[in-house]
Structure 1
Amino acid sequence: MKYFILFNLMNCLDLNLKVIKRPDVSLPNRNFNEIDMQGRNGKLVEDLGTYGDIKVSIELNFIEKPKFFYDEVRKIMFWLSKRDDYTLTLADDLEYYYKVKRLEYSDIERKLKVKGTFTLNFICEAFRYYRDNAIITITKNNYNFYSPNFAWDSEPVLKIYGSGNITLTINSNNILLNGVSSNIILDSVLKETYSNTYENLNNKMSGEFPVLINGVNTINWIGNITKIELVPNWRCL
């Protein structure tokens, strides 16, 4: 089978494009803040606990000589420019995907009038996300569940069905929810709280947004909760 990439819900092979060689594995660098202090030898290094973006570079060319060269170019630009699904999946790592922040691309060469070689640089988040990201439904208090192997701290989205004042505890992180009417959504990715009709409910939450850890995760609560639907957003480096 030919090597391929999936981007914007399309396989490059379906666009008459093949990957010339498999991309190198891009490793993210951890972010540090270096501080000069008077009277101190060397710099004071502060670990920020975050990672910088990565660049996944992929070189492609045409599988078959295009009959109408510029029609092929227009098709490629349409594929690269739309924002249907800004994720990147590699053929030899199909269980994971990258979240693409922006895209850079070179000119398409015509010196052979056949190959149409060009390079795509995908600027991505440091993390790779697990494609298996099934909703975890929780109906019992003091609920435990496990992360996949090698999972990093992940930012879940929780839809909580309940009412009144609630104290929700996730891995020792206490979250206070005040005056819940029927449901409330805690979105750790966007750092926003809202209803299922996207009404802003940030004023009903106090505390830090939840984070899932590698290994066992625990959820318990005080108050009236009938169900929690949790999208874990598992990810790894």
Structure 2
Amino acid sequence: MERGSFVLGHQLTSDQLNARILNYPTIAVPERKMTLNTSPVGIDRAILFDDGAYNNRDIQLIIGFEGKQADSNIQKFLSVLDTGKYIDFQMYSDPDYTYQVIRQSTGTIARPNYSDGYRELTIMLSAAPYRYVAPAQTETITTLISTLVNPTNYVAKPYIKIVGSGSITLTINGTDYRFSNVTGSIELDSAMQNVWHTNGKIIVNENAKMAIGPFPTLKPGNNNINLSAGTVTIEPRWRTL
């Protein structure tokens, strides 16, 4: 990526907006979710309760918009952010990763005295703690045993689509994930912990067709995968802090 460039939501680029990031983005390291209990008497350190997760991180940006459409392009940028859900964001400063961002804070729009056709937007974005390896990888696996290699030090929560019918078992690292009465295909998102089937444009909840238990994850290093019938497409969503 060129210096200052970015892609927002896989649909809006810095070139389309005639914009560039002016600063080297300041990105906070996410805070671990922990609680320290200092009340017990006679113990020489606090008792630690670890939630096993992280808080969101902040990304501070200054973006310059050039040309007669500067004001309009700022509104386009903000409208993509303001959808009530996380939006993918890639920056020149970290081109091998995608961040998932939302806007919670206010921003400021400044116009230097020397130019009518230039604006600067200063804004703070809130990003989900993990950043995802880009471009996203997708693997299609048949009933043969295959191996996916997680290149990061963190457990991944994949998106999975199984194409087939009837009773199907997906085995990952020796753990069986069983699906019953599959009709053509079934999809699941381990991050959202949801199972569904797409019928045309209609999404049908299929949580009842997956045996009760944890959703699949992919550990760092080698992950052995087998499918009892049909084919499975996996978007691993490799991630790191």
Question: If the TM-score is normalised by the length of the shorter chain, which range does it land in?
Answer: 0.7 to 0.9
Cα distance, 1:105 vs. partner? 4.2
8 Å Cα contact 2:89/2:99 also seen in 1: yes
Q: CA separation in 1, counterparts of 2:103 and 2:175?
A: 33
Runs of 4+ off more than 4 Å: none
Letter in 2 for 1:117: E
Range with greater deviation from structure 2 (204-213 or 27-36): 27-36
Count of residues in Structure 1 that have an aligned counterpart in Structure 2: 229
Gaps of 5+ in 2: none
Match of 2:46 among 43, 46, 56: 43
Q: CA separation in 2, counterparts of 1:10 and 1:178?
A: 41
Alignment of 1:1-237 (within 5 A): 2-8=3-9, 9-36=11-38, 38-39=40-41, 41=43, 42-63=45-66, 66-67=67-68, 72-82=70-80, 86-110=87-111, 112=113, 114=115, 116-148=119-151, 150=152, 152-197=154-199, 198-206=203-211, 207-221=213-227, 223=228, 225-237=229-241
Task: Give the percent of matched residue pairs that are identical in Structure 1 and Structure 2.
Answer: 26
Q: CA separation in 2, counterparts of 1:153 and 1:82?
A: 29
Gaps of 5+ in 1: none
| TM-score normalised by length of structure 1 | 0.83
Q: CA separation in 1, counterparts of 2:36 and 2:23?
A: 38
Distance 1:40 1:167, change over 3 A: farther
1:196-233 C-alpha deviation (Å, 9 max, x unpaired):
32211111112111111110011235x5x121111111
Range with greater deviation from structure 2 (8-17 or 209-218): 8-17
1:92-146 C-alpha deviation (Å, 9 max, x unpaired):
3222110113353422123525353331212111111122323211113432221
Q: CA separation in 2, counterparts of 1:34 and 1:178?
A: 44
1:40-97 C-alpha deviation (Å, 9 max, x unpaired):
534321221111111111112344xx55xxx532331122113689221111322211
| TM-score normalised by length of structure 2 | 0.82
Q: CA separation in 1, counterparts of 2:146 and 2:14?
A: 43
Q: CA separation in 1, counterparts of 2:192 and 2:145?
A: 26
8 Å Cα contact 1:31/1:51 also seen in 2: yes
8 Å Cα contact 2:185/2:197 also seen in 1: yes
SS at match of 2:76: helix
8 Å Cα contact 2:65/2:73 also seen in 1: no
Distance 1:61 1:173, change over 3 A: same
Q: CA separation in 2, counterparts of 1:2 and 1:209?
A: 40
Q: CA separation in 2, counterparts of 1:166 and 1:93?
A: 40
